[in-house]
Amino acid sequence: MALKITVIGTGYLGATHAAAMAELGFEVLGLDVVPEKIELLAAGRVPMYEPGLEELLARHVAGIEGSSGRLRFTTSWEEVGAFGDVHFVCVNTPQKHGEYACDMSHVDAAFASLAAVVREGSLVVGKSTVPVGSAGRLAAVLPEGVDLAWNPEFLREGFAVRDTLHPDRIVVGVPAGASGERAEKTLREVYAVPVGEGSPFVVTDYPTAELVKTSANSFLATKISFINAMAEVCEAAGGDVVKLAEAIGHDERIGSKFLRAGIGFGGGCLPKDIRAFMARAGELGADQALTFLREIDSINMRRRASMVEMAREALGGGFLGKRVAVLGATFKPDSDDVRDSPALNVAGQIHLQGGQVTVYDPKGMDNARRLFPTLGYADSALDAVRGADVVLHLTEWREFRDALDPAELAEAAASPVILDGRNALDPARWREAGWTYRAMGRPRA
Ligand code: UDX
């Protein structure tokens, strides 16, 4: 009989995983402890902007006309325990308030609730990003006869559906012995389709599986901070970091991806994951191995400050009484997520220093308003730019690059000066339309 799957926690990760499992043909039951989330999902809607996810839900959520009916949602643990052969735990692990370590309370609560209802012979699969050592500890919480595997998730916001259905790799951490063999066999069955499509399936122990996730994110953060450090040197030496990135990226050993210099990384993962990793290494007595991550973090934070300085300089030395247009609020394009967004951080710093800031973002306005209610907001890029003394391009939405008319915006601005914090606009196009265009790590024309 086909395996029945539950997904515990229906945020970005869980909602996407649940819909993807239904797409692969499984009967799926999603659980969340927040009833409002469940109501929304049961109607085929998601509380965030993620391209393709609502379409995928509509194809499978029971009760939606024309759907497969394979995907249902609940708030009942009893139902989850009775239903599932395989339980995926997808709850979040945010940064602890005022500390580097991550907050495991949601994971611990989910395991405690699951342990009370899970059937003997079923498999629990942890997908949350956790400090190394957690899986071993959590295995002991589950009753005898229930197996645990750790299967980290590498999806990117904005590409969540694609990354889940066609993963670069599937990593599975299992214990040695019969329990691990059973867990591996079951997960090979669950992921038969992606593996058939060529996704590598890497089987390892718990700590390695946990570390794959944190080390992958640390590597990505390091790549971004590396190129941003080169941007700082380029600024000092008169070099061009965009050309430099292109040139080093041709070396296959380096690769061209994740070498876009600018105001740096943000979001709900990279910043908190590298901090939690440092905290955990410290607990393990291996903190020296990760001291470089402290530098990665500080290069990253310095880019935000340096964007503020660039804007101050463009305004002749101060923000008081100046109008600053900010294009972009989310931490990256194709998402409405503003968690630890470099764009909003820069906007907030300028506002605190007396600048009159007006923000526009294609999808992040509601979340930005909630987080930074004192900033000004406009309904379009043109409205944000109207009367501006300087324009900051801080999230590289395609519509900013392709759909904006620099000539029209130049007319609307009080002073046509644009600072590109993402190195994503075409300098020639803006300069031809009369703009002073400056970017991070690039020479001034
Ligand atoms: C990341 C990892 O990529 C993903 O594998 C993991 O599962 C979760 O964390 P995500 O947070 O969705 O995904 O965003 P990502 O695309 O990695 O971008 C992170 C940040 O880095 C963004 O703020 C982005 O603007 C910035 N970035 C990315 C750069 O500044 N330069 C680059 O070259 C690439």
Q: What is the pLDDT of residues 38-50, one digit of tens each?
A: 999 999 999 899 9
The ipTM of this complex is 0.97
415 Cα to the center of ligand 1, angstroms: 33
> Which residue's C-alpha comes closest to atom 1 of ligand 1?
156
Output the CA–CA distances (angstroms, integers) from residue 65 to 23, 59, 75, 90, 350, in the order listed.
16, 9, 23, 28, 49
CATH class of 298-439: alpha beta
> Which residue's C-alpha comes closest to atom 7 of ligand 1?
154
Is the predicted pLDDT of residue 1 greater than 80, yes or no? no
Q: Provide the greatest CA pair distance for the chain.
A: 71
Tell me what pLDDT residue 211 has: 98
**For residue 261, which atom of ligand 1 is closest to its CA?**
31
Helical segments of 284-397, H only: 291-314, 342-352, 365-371, 381-385
Nearest alpha carbon to residue 108 among 123, 93, 87 = 93
Instruction: Quote the mean pLDDT of the chain.
Output: 97
Q: Are 183 and 203 in contact (CB under 8 A)?
A: no
Q: Cα(149)–Cα(202) distance, rounded to whole angstroms?
A: 13
**For residue 157, which atom of ligand 1 is closest to its CA?**
12
Q: What is the pLDDT of residues 66-102, one digit of tens each?
A: 999 999 999 999 999 999 999 999 999 999 999 999 9
pTM attached to this predicted model: 0.96
173 phi/psi in degrees, rounded to 5: -100, 125
Q: Are 128 and 89 in contact (CB under 8 A)?
A: yes
Cβ neighbours of 226 (radius 10 Å): 18
Q: What is the pLDDT of residues 284-293, one digit of tens each?
A: 999 999 999 9
Structure-token pair, residue 385: 């730019």
Phi-psi domain of 248 (left: phi exceeds 0; alpha: psi -120 through 50; beta: other): alpha
220 Cα to the center of ligand 1, angstroms: 8
Angle at 177 between CA 7 and CA 142, to 5 degrees: 40
Q: Which CATH number fits domain 4-204: 3.40.250.10, 3.10.129.10, 3.40.50.720, 3.40.50.300?
A: 3.40.50.720
Residue percentage of the chain with pLDDT more than 90:
98
- Quick one: average pLDDT of 135-140? 98
**pLDDT band, residue 318 (cuts 50/70/90):** very high
Lining ligand 1 with CB less than 6 A are: 154-157, 217, 220, 224, 258-260, 262, 264-267, 269-270, 331-332
Label the pairing between strands 86-89 and 356-360.
Answer: unpaired
Tell me what pLDDT residue 203 has: 98
Which neighbouring-strand residues pair with 125?
88, 149
**pLDDT band, residue 445 (cuts 50/70/90):** confident
**For residue 155, which atom of ligand 1 is closest to its CA?**
7
Structure-token pair, residue 384: 């944000």
97 Cα to the center of ligand 1, angstroms: 22
> Which residue's C-alpha comes closest to atom 26 of ligand 1?
265
CA 69 to chain centre: 29
Q: What is the pLDDT of residues 231-273, one digit of tens each?
A: 999 999 999 999 999 999 999 999 999 999 999 999 999 999 9
**For residue 273, which atom of ligand 1 is closest to its CA?**
9
Catalytically annotated residue among 90, 102, 234, 269: 269
Q: Cα(223)–Cα(257) distance, rounded to whole angstroms?
A: 9
268 Cα to the center of ligand 1, angstroms: 10
**For residue 333, which atom of ligand 1 is closest to its CA?**
25
192 phi/psi in degrees, rounded to 5: -55, -40
Mutation choice for ligand 1 from 93, 220, 256, 440, CB with most ligand atoms inside 8 A:
220
Q: What is the pLDDT of residues 101-126, one digit of tens each?
A: 999 999 999 999 999 999 999 999 99
- Of the chain, the end-to-end C-alpha distance in Å amounts to 67
Q: Cα(111)–Cα(425) distance, rounded to whole angstroms?
A: 47
68 Cα to the center of ligand 1, angstroms: 33
Tell me what pLDDT residue 79 has: 98
Q: Quickly tell me which residue has 């400090």 as its tokens.
A: 131
Active site residue 269: yes
In sequence order, what DSSP letters do the residues of 138-185 get, joined into one string?
HHTTSPTT-EEEE----PPTTSHHHHHHS-S-EEEE--SSHHHHHHHH
Tell me what pLDDT residue 33 has: 95
> Which residue's C-alpha comes closest to atom 22 of ligand 1?
265
**pLDDT band, residue 444 (cuts 50/70/90):** confident
336 Cα to the center of ligand 1, angstroms: 14
Contacts of 302 (CB under 8 A, 6+ apart): 232
Q: What is the pLDDT of residues 382-439, one digit of tens each?
A: 999 999 999 999 999 999 999 999 999 999 999 999 999 999 999 999 999 999 999 9
Is the predicted pLDDT of residue 354 greater than 80, yes or no? yes
Q: Cα(197)–Cα(437) distance, rounded to whole angstroms?
A: 45
Output the CA–CA distances (angstroms, integers) from residue 413 to 259, 385, 409, 424, in the order listed.
31, 6, 6, 20
Residue intervals of the chain classified under CATH 3.40.50.720 are 4-204, 298-439
